Every structure is written in C-alpha cells, then in structure tokens.
Amino acid sequence: MAAALAMTMRKAHGVNEGEPLPDTTCDVWCEDTVGEYRLPYLCVWRDGAWYGVGKTNPLAIRVIGWRISMPKPSKKSSAQKEPGRWFKTPKIQIGRN
C-alpha cells in the first residue's frame, strides 16, 4: 500500500522513470532504507549515471524517478518591490482659502 501511494505521489508531481536526455538538469527522487525523497539539489544524467550538477562523482544512491527542473519564481518582481518606479502618482495639494 505504501509503495502504491508513493508512486501515486511521484506521478502527481510529474516524475518520470527511465533516462532523460543527457545533460538535462533534473530534480531526482531517490530511495533508501528510510523511504523515498527528492534530493535537495539538481542533478544531470550523463555517461549512464546520475551526477549532482557540477560534480565529478556519480550519485551513490538509487534514483527511482526524475523531473525536468523548472525555474523557481522570484519572490517579488521589481514592480512589486518599488511600486512608484514605473509611474508617478501626482501629488494633490489642498490649498487654504
């Protein structure tokens, strides 16, 4: 039951099995004696093995799935950080009579 639930969760997250195109940056899901989890760093498939991005040694853990990495959205755009940057609000002065 737990294995079926874990596979359903991987499919819900768009996780693939098999091999991606070489040198494609991916999120990878692994399995060990504790359970299944996604690695907290990006990996690439090359030379028939998974490697951490920029690493020279292959991963020493069983990879059970992968997903092409999507760029994370920025927290706030510059327009949200500085709302007056794109346009100026006219100042209204109330005169005394």
Alpha-carbon distance of 25 to 20, in angstroms, equals 9
- Residues 41-63, buried b or exposed e (16+ Cβ, 10 A)? eebbbeeeebbeeeeeebeeeeb
Q: Is residue 87's pLDDT more than 60?
A: no
Q: What pTM was computed for the model?
A: 0.61
The 3-state secondary structure of 12-38 reads HCCCECCCCCCCCCEEEEEECCCCEEE
Alpha-carbon distance of 83 to 24, in angstroms, equals 37
Q: What is the pLDDT of residues 1-12, one digit of tens each?
A: 445 445 555 555
Q: What is the pLDDT of residues 28-53, one digit of tens each?
A: 999 888 888 889 999 999 999 999 99
